[in-house]
A and B are shown apart, each in its own frame.
Chain A
Amino acid sequence: MKVEEIDVDEQIGEVGQILSEAEKKKGILIHVLQKIQEDNGYLPGDVLSNLSKKLYFPLSEIYSVASFYKQFHFKPRGKKIVKICMGTACYVRGAKEILNTVEERFNVKAGETTEDLAVTLETVGCIGCCGLAPVATVNDEVKGEISSKKLDRLIKFIKEE
C-alpha cells in the first residue's frame, strides 16, 4: 500500500457518512498500519512520517496507537518467526522448558531477533490449539505436541532454509 495514495473515504466505507473527517482518519488508522506492516514486515519510521503528513495527524499519536498493540513492530523482523505458546494449557504442559531451550539454542531472548535476521522469537498467549499443547508456530505454521523428541525436530525445522 502506498501511503501517498490512501483514499480515506474508500477505506472507511459506508460508515464514513456519519463520521467527521477526523473520525474517519482515525477509523482507518489501524487497518492502514496493518497493511504497512504486511508490506514491510514492520512499521518503518519513514513510512510512518509520511503517513503522518498524509493524514495530517501528529506522528506521536500514530505511535501512541501503534505501540499499544502487540501486533505492531518497529524493528525489522527475522525470516523465521517463531512463536511459543505460553497460554494456560501449554504452560501446564511444559511450555516454559521449550522456550528456554529455544532461547538457548538460538542465543536469542523472547521478543528479540537474531543479529543475522534469521529468527525472531516471541511468546503468545494461546493460539487456540490447546488440545495439542504444548504448541509453537513457525511463520504461522502450527507445530503441536512438542515433547522433547519433537522439540529437536522443531529446532531443525527452524534452522531449515
Chain B
Amino acid sequence: MSGDNIKIKICMGPGGIAAGGNDVIEAFKGQLTNQRINASFGEQCSLHQVGCRGLCAKDVLVEIIIDGKETIYENINPEKVPRIVKEHILGDNPVKEWIAGEDYDNFKKKQIKVVLSHCGEIDPEDMNAYIEAGGYKAAHKALTSMSPSEIVETVKTSNLRGRGGAGFPTGLKWELGLRIKSDVKYVICNGDEGDPGAFMDRSVMEGDPHSVIEGMIICAKATESHKGYIYVRAEYPLAVKRLQQAIDQCLQKGYLGKNIFDTGFDFDIRIFQGAGAFVCGEATALMRSIEGKRGMPTPKLWRSAEKGLWEKPTVLNNVETFANIPKIILNGGDWFRNLGTERSGGTKVFSLTGNIKNSGLIEVPLGISLREIIYDIGGGIEGGRSLKAVQTGGPSGGCIPAALLDIEVDYESLAKVGSIMGSGGMVVLDETNCMVNTAKFFLEFTQAESCGKCTPCRIGTKRMLEILERITNGNGKEGDIELLEDLGSHIRATSLCGLGMTAPNPVLSTIRYFRDEYEAHIKDRKCPALVCRNLITYSIIEEECTGCGACKRACPVDSIRGVRKKPHKIDPELCVKCGTCFDVCKFKAILKA
C-alpha cells in the first residue's frame, strides 16, 4: 500500500456497458467501501467511468493507475473485482493473469489517437476532466485571437476532409459558409451514423462529447453563425444524454450562450433526436427532418451553404470532422496535414468488426495499409480461417478482396478499387462468407431504407434485390450478372441522392472480384461458401456413419432413415437443409456440399 494516489478507470463505451461495465463499477464501489479504502485514502482513490478504449472484444477493460503506474486488465467481471482490490490496490501486487496481454499492446501499436485521444482516458460526464486535458483551449484561442478567415485558412492547410463519407474538404466548405452573408446561419453536426456495422461517431459523442461541441463553437466562429444543431440518431439515447449534459455544463460556464469568453460572440446548440431513418444521414434529408418533414433528400439546386436549414445558409459536418477541429487549431494545420497522405490529412477512426480477432474501435493515420490494420492491429482472422474480403463504407461501399490487401487506406485508393472510405465501417469477411449473399444483405438494407422519392432507387434496387434473391435461391438465369451490372450502372447514374447512387456498389464490387462465385450459383447451382441454404445438400458418408441414430432423432422433418448400427441415409426430397444433423453428428459423417 505504497501509493497514495489511485485512479481506477472503467471502460463504459458501448462495448463496456454491454459487457457489464455497470456491474463492475458497482462491484468496485462496494469493495472500496468494504475495504475502508475511502477511510484511508479519502479523495485520493477515485473511480472514473471512461469512454471507449477500442478493444471492445476484451471488455470490460479496467485501468488502475497507482502513482502514475498504469496497469490494464481485460475481460473483467464483478467476480474478479475483490481480488484486484485486495491484491493490487491494497497489496500493491497486480493480478498478473488478468493483465491485458499481447493483443492489447499490438492493438495499440500502430494507432495514432487524435479524435480518440480522450476516449477511454477521461470521464465524459466531467467537464473539468476535459478542461484539464487541454479542452476548450482551442475554442478560446479561436474566439479571442483568430479571425474567421484565419480559422478557415488553418483548416484548409490541415487538409481535413469530411469524415461523414464523401470526403469533401472541410476548409473549403467553411470558406463558402463564411463568404455567404446572412443574418441567420446554422452549424449542424451530423450524428446520424446509420451505417450498419459502424460505431465511431457514437463512441465520440458518448466518450468525448465536449470535443464535438468545441469543434462546433470554432466552426460557428469561422462561419459567423450563432445557432447550432446536433442531429443524433434515435438509437443512441446515451449520446443524447451526454451531449445534453455537456451543453448544459457549457451554458453554465459561459462556454456556450451569450458572450462566450467575454468576446461578445454568441452561440447556442440544440439537440435534435432523429426518429429512425437511414436516409436522414444525408445532409438535405437531415435538414428536412429537423424542419419536421419526411426526411427525404432534396435535389441540390443550391448548395446547403447558401440555402440549407429553413432556407438559411448552413454548414453541416460529421461528428468526427468536428472532433478533429480543436486539435487542428491547437497544433496547427501543418501538423495535421503531415499525419496523413498528400491528399488527405490526419487520421481516421474505423470500427473494425466481423470475423476478426480483436474487433473494436481504432484510429490510424491515413495511408496505412489494409494489411497492417487487419493483421497488426486486428490480430488477424478468428479461428485460423483465411481472409476473403474487407468491406468498407457500409451499404454504400464495396468489398475489397484479400489480394488487394496492400493498398493504402485513403479516399482515392479505396475509390479506385470500387469501394469507398465511407464513414469508417470496416467489416472483415473470412472464407465462410458467401459474397453473393453479402451483396444481398447490403442491398436488402438500402432497398428497405430507400425513401422512395426517386424511381431509379425505389424500383431499381428492388429489381436488383429480386435478381439476387433468385440467384441465392438457386433460380439464377444466364445473363443475370450482366443484368445486375446494367441496372447498377443506371441506378448509380440517375438516382437523386447518395443513397441510390451508391446502393449498387456492394453488388458491383463483388461481381468485379468474385464473379466466379456468382457463376457457381447460377451455372452449377452451388454456393462455394456453403451459405445459401437452397444450394446446399446434406448427405451421409457411409464409411463414417456408426448408425448411432443421433441425427435421426434430431431431424425435425424425419428425413433420415436407417436401422441402428447400420449407415443411415438422408432423403433429399424431405430434407429442409436446416443443418441440425450436421451439428449433432459426433463422427463428422454428415457431408455438407
Contacts and interface: CB of A to CB of B under 8 A. Distances in A.
Contacts of B277: 68-70
A89 interface: yes
B443 interface: no
Contact of A130 (B194, B236, B351, B429): B351
A88 B292 contact: no
Nearest to B57: A131
B197 A87 contact: yes
B196 A135 contact: no
A78 interface: no
Contacts of A125: 194, 196, 278, 445
Given A23-B310, A131-B57, A133-B353, A68 B295 contact: yes
Contacts of B292: 25-30, 65
A71 interface: yes
Contact of B18 (A30, A93, A124, A143): A143
Given A18-B310, A92-B354, A133-B359, A126 B441 contact: no
Contacts of B208: none
Nearest to A125: B196
A126 B310 CA distance: 31
A45 interface: no
Nearest to B226: A14
Which of A30, A64, A72, A86 has most chain B Cβ within 10 Å? A30
B127 interface: no
Contact of B425 (A25, A30, A86, A88): A88
Nearest to B441: A91
Tell me if A's interface is mostly helix, strand, loop or mixed: helix
Contact of A131 (B56, B227, B276): B56
Contact of A34 (B18, B199, B273, B354): B273
Q: Bin chain A's interface residue count.
A: 35 or more
Nearest to A100: B578
B199 A129 contact: yes
A19 to B, nearest CB: 6
Contacts of A69: 234, 274-277, 295
B18 A88 contact: no
Contact of B291 (A23, A33, A142): A23
B121 to A, nearest CB: 18
A132 interface: yes
Interface in B42-58: 55-57
Interface string A67-104: 01111100000000000001111011100000000000
Interface residues of B, number: 60
A128 B202 contact: yes
A129 B56 contact: yes
Interface in A6-40: 13-15, 18-19, 23, 25-31, 33-34
Nearest to A19: B310
Which of A27, A131, A135 has most chain B Cβ within 10 Å? A131
Contacts of B508: none
B294 A132 contact: no
A33 B234 CA distance: 13
Nearest to A143: B18
B300 to A, nearest CB: 21
Contacts of B354: 88-89, 92-93, 133
A39 to B, nearest CB: 16
B74 interface: no
A87 B237 CA distance: 18
B84 interface: no
A131 to B, nearest CB: 2
B189 interface: no
A13 to B, nearest CB: 7
A13 B270 contact: yes
Interface string A44-69: 00000000000000000000110011
B199 A88 contact: no
B275 A87 contact: no
Nearest to A14: B268
B537 to A, nearest CB: 20
A9 B427 CA distance: 46
A144 interface: yes
Contact of A65 (B56, B278, B294, B312): B294
A89 B234 CA distance: 20
Contacts of A33: 275
Contacts of B290: 27
A140 interface: yes
Interface in B391-423: 391, 394
Contacts of A14: 227, 268
Contacts of B18: 129, 132, 135, 142-144
A93 B273 CA distance: 30
A132 B19 contact: yes
A19 B186 CA distance: 14
Given A130-B359, A132-B19, A71 B275 contact: yes
Interface string B517-535: 0000000000000000000
9 contacts: A27-B292, A30-B292, A34-B275, A68-B294, A88-B394, A125-B445, A126-B198, A128-B14, A129-B56
Given A87-B197, A132-B56, 16 more contacts: A14-B268, A23-B310, A29-B292, A33-B275, A65-B294, A70-B234, A70-B275, A88-B391, A92-B355, A128-B203, A130-B197, A130-B199, A131-B57, A131-B353, A132-B15, A142-B17
Interface of B: 14-15, 17-19, 55-57, 59, 184, 193-199, 202-203, 227, 234-237, 268, 270, 272-278, 289-296, 310, 312, 351, 353-355, 359-361, 391, 394, 425, 427, 429, 433, 441-442, 445, 451
List of 9 A-B pairs having minimum Cβ-Cβ separation, nearest first: A131-B56, A88-B197, A69-B275, A70-B276, A87-B196, A128-B199, A89-B353, A26-B292, A71-B276
